[in-house]
Amino acid sequence: MALPMNIEELINGKTVEWERIEFRRGWNPARTLKTITAFANDFNNWGGGYIILGIKEKEGRPVLPPEGLKLDEIDKIQKELNNLCRKIIPNYFPIVEPVDFKGKKILILWCPGGSIRPYKSPSNLGKKPQYFYYIRRFSSTVKPTMEEEKELISMSNQIPFDDRVNYKYTVNEFDLGSIRTFLNKIGSELEKEIPRLSIKEISRRMNIAEGGDENLLPKNIGLLFFAKKPQKIFPSAKIEIIIFKDNDGIEFEEKIFEGNLFEQTFNTLNFLKNQIVKEKVIKREGRAEADRFFNYPYQALEEALCNAVYHRGYDNDSPIEVRIFPTHIDIISFPGPLPPLNKEKLKKYQFDVRKYRNRRIGELLKELHLTEGRQTGIPTILKEIKKNGSPKPVFETDEERSYFKATFFIHSEFEEDRLNLELLDKKNAEKTTRKTTRKTTQKILALIKENPYITRKELAQEIGNITEDGIKYNLAKLKKQGKIKRVGPDKGGHWEIVN
């Protein structure tokens, strides 16, 4: 049975960081057991890892083409693994799959983060072994330090929200169409097997459900990505775009993107790309190549939005907000970053994050190529901002880390155009007002004669094609000419025609 991932991209490190993959030419049960334990402990909430047998490694990278394994070797390893993993306390079993890759048979051990960590395993396979915890430190499996062991134990049953079992719903909430779409997008062979599999088998294979067949329960990650009606389960799991007509934030339009997590992310990104991001081309004298830049670099907005989807908390009631002003864009998610990140480090662009809020969401977003690997999101944003010649973004949170805000500023060329357009609109308005003065004078006088208590707003509505400022200008001119006068105060008074 196929795995819910693109095997080619997995082996080439395109969707999973190298630290989370171990390549082994052959079978070493003692070493493999320790690595499985380390991935199961998932000390940094990276999402576990993969052990790939049948591929030699050199400096942490695969040596291709693969040497492969013989069929009888694979059968023997699988049987041995079943007994071996019972030595892990508590028992933990990876998802194991033989795969045909470049004409050879390899064996992939997918080891997601365990749901009842911490896990221990024996230091050796001899008699009366000692049991130890193991964790991953960069690309190595090691015993934790005393401090790390205390932290690991404190994480007992602290499963990230996205990887927790949801006891209120069943796997019948899953939509096969959404699952098929996702598998098709990532290029997984599992898509071809869906017609002959039950929803329970698919759920187990994708690690989006947990429990016995008599009580198989969905995980939050499965409901967020594949539920028929995700907002029924997670009302705030949506993205709101608010487009303000001015920087004061008074007049605005709103668009709300709902649905499952990957659909709403794709739809929001398409909206930003097609409706908000604009390109400008300037030909420079004496140069063959023109300058090309954007009001906002799309790749930076994409990375920031996907980071918000990845790192926000799905157990709170605040959606992701994208606020678009004439001069800048704010992308806001709740809550804020995990320690050690704080407001001071954000100001200095110091993103030394070690732990993650959602381990499975990041994993699926990487499969969809919607986000980079760990700790590469902000560097990608800064690189794209610099490449476009835009002002540096601002990253912000408060002392309580209750929110995270990324602010992107409009490119200077577009800001200059905006200011020029505002000035032109103002001049045109003034010009239009004065050009229509002679045509509107008689109308104003006739309306005042008919109703001396008529207001500027009512005059503008009756005449049409003129603003209240235009009416004010014409009334002032008529007063100066001595044709009308105001009797009483502005409010409660009335107009009187002199001649």
How many whole angstroms separate alpha carbon 141 and alpha carbon 70?
Answer: 27
In a 13 Å sphere around the CA of 398, the CA atoms on its Cβ side amount to 7
* Two tokens, residue 342: 């704080």
Lowest-confidence segment of 359-368, 379-388, 417-426, 464-473 by average pLDDT: 417-426
Residues 259 and 326 in one domain: yes
User: Which residue type occupies 433?
Assistant: T
pLDDT reading at 422 higher than 70 = no
Residues 324 and 445 in one domain: no
Q: What is the mean pLDDT of residues 166-188?
A: 96
The pLDDT of residue 382 is: 93
pLDDT reading at 408 higher than 70 = yes
The pLDDT of residue 424 is: 56
Which band of pLDDT confidence, cut at 50, 70 and 90, is reported for residue 299?
A: very high
Q: Give domain status of residue 321, yes or no.
A: yes
Which residues span the domain enclosing 207?
Answer: 160-232
Domain with residue 482: its CATH number is: 1.10.10.10
Q: At a CB cut-off of 8 Å and minimum separation 6, what does 128 contact? A: none
How many whole angstroms separate alpha carbon 249 and alpha carbon 35?
Answer: 53
Domain with residue 312: its CATH number is: 3.30.565.60
Residues 225 and 200 in one domain: yes
Domain with residue 32: its CATH number is: 3.30.950.30
Nearest in space to 5 (alpha carbons), one of 91, 101, 82, 115: 101
Q: Give domain status of residue 102, yes or no.
A: yes
How many whole angstroms separate alpha carbon 120 and alpha carbon 90?
Answer: 7
Q: Give domain status of residue 378, yes or no.
A: yes
The pLDDT of residue 470 is: 79
Q: Give domain status of residue 310, yes or no.
A: yes
Residues 332 and 405 in one domain: yes
Residues 354 and 212 in one domain: no
Last residue of a domain, one of 182, 210, 232: 232
The pLDDT of residue 482 is: 85
Nearest in space to 335 (alpha carbons), one of 402, 405, 406: 402
Q: What is the mean pLDDT of residues 444-468?
A: 86
pLDDT reading at 421 higher than 70 = no
% pLDDT > 90, the chain? 63
Q: Give domain status of residue 426, yes or no.
A: no
Last residue of a domain, one of 232, 253, 278: 232
Model confidence over 230-241: pLDDT tens digits?
999 999 999 999
Q: Beta partners for 187? A: none
Residues 410 and 470 in one domain: no
The CA-based angle 34-35-37, given to 5 degrees, is: 65
The pLDDT of residue 429 is: 54
Model confidence over 124-150: pLDDT tens digits?
998 889 999 999 988 899 999 999 999
How many whole angstroms separate alpha carbon 88 and alpha carbon 71?
Answer: 26
Residues 200 and 312 in one domain: no
Which band of pLDDT confidence, cut at 50, 70 and 90, is reported for residue 173?
A: very high
Q: Crossing angle for the helix pair 468-480 and 456-463, nearest 10 degrees?
A: 110
Which band of pLDDT confidence, cut at 50, 70 and 90, is reported for residue 383?
A: very high
How many whole angstroms separate alpha carbon 379 and alpha carbon 375?
Answer: 8
What domain count does the chain have? 4
Q: How far is CA 369 from the centre of its chain?
A: 11
The pLDDT of residue 398 is: 93
Residues 31 and 135 in one domain: yes
How many whole angstroms separate alpha carbon 310 and alpha carbon 271?
Answer: 19
Q: Give domain status of residue 299, yes or no.
A: yes
Nearest in space to 155 (alpha carbons), one of 46, 48, 50, 45: 45
Mean pLDDT score of the chain: 89
The pLDDT of residue 437 is: 62
The pLDDT of residue 288 is: 73
pLDDT reading at 122 higher than 70 = yes
Q: What is the mean pLDDT of residues 152-161?
A: 87
Residues 325 and 308 in one domain: yes
Q: Give domain status of residue 430, yes or no.
A: no
The pLDDT of residue 33 is: 97
Residues 305 and 266 in one domain: yes
Q: Crossing angle for the helix pair 412-435 and 468-480, nearest 10 degrees?
A: 40
Last residue of a domain, one of 232, 260, 276: 232
Q: Which residue has the higher pLDDT, 179 or 435?
A: 179
Q: Is the peptide bond before 337 cis (omega within 30 degrees of 0)?
A: no
pLDDT reading at 46 higher than 90 = no
User: Which residue type occupies 386?
Assistant: K
Residues 374 and 244 in one domain: yes
Q: Give domain status of residue 493, yes or no.
A: yes
The pLDDT of residue 436 is: 52
User: Which residue type occupies 251?
Assistant: E
Q: What is the mean pLDDT of residues 101-109?
A: 96
3-state secondary structure the chain: CCCCCCHHHHHCCCCCCHHHEEEECCCCHHHHHHHHHHHHHCCCCCCCEEEEECCCEECCEECCCCCCCCHHHHHHHHHHHHHHHHHCECCCCCEEEEEEECCEEEEEEEECCCCCCCCEEECCCCCCCCEEECEEECCEEECCCHHHHHHHHHCCCCCCHHHCECCCCCHHHECHHHHHHHHHHHCCCHHHHHHHCCHHHHHHHHCCEECCHHHCEEEHHHHHHHECCHHHHCCCCCEEEEEECCCCCCCEEEEEECCCHHHHHHHHHHHHHHHHCCEEEECCCCCCCCEEEECCCHHHHHHHHHHHHHHCCCCCCCCEEEEECCCEEEEEECCCCCCCCCHHHHHCCCCCCCCCCCHHHHHHHHHCCCCCCCCCHHHHHHHHHHHHCCCCCEEECCCCCCCEEEEEECCHHHHHHHHHHHHHHHHHHHHHHHHCHHHHHHHHHHHHHHCCCCCHHHHHHHHCCCCHHHHHHHHHHHHHCCCEEEECCCCCCEEEECC
Lowest-confidence segment of 23-27, 288-292, 419-423 by average pLDDT: 419-423
How many whole angstroms separate alpha carbon 228 and alpha carbon 354?
Answer: 34
The pLDDT of residue 128 is: 86
Q: What is the mean pLDDT of residues 488-497?
A: 81
Q: Which residue has the higher pLDDT, 183 or 379?
A: 183
How many whole angstroms separate alpha carbon 295 and alpha carbon 290?
Answer: 16
Which band of pLDDT confidence, cut at 50, 70 and 90, is reported for residue 402?
A: very high
pLDDT reading at 50 higher than 90 = yes
Q: Which residue has the higher pLDDT, 456 or 424?
A: 456
- Could you give the C-alpha distances from 350 to 46, 340, 343, 346, 375, in angstroms and in order? 20, 10, 10, 6, 10
Which band of pLDDT confidence, cut at 50, 70 and 90, is reported for residue 80?
A: very high
pLDDT reading at 435 higher than 60 = no
Residues 296 and 370 in one domain: yes
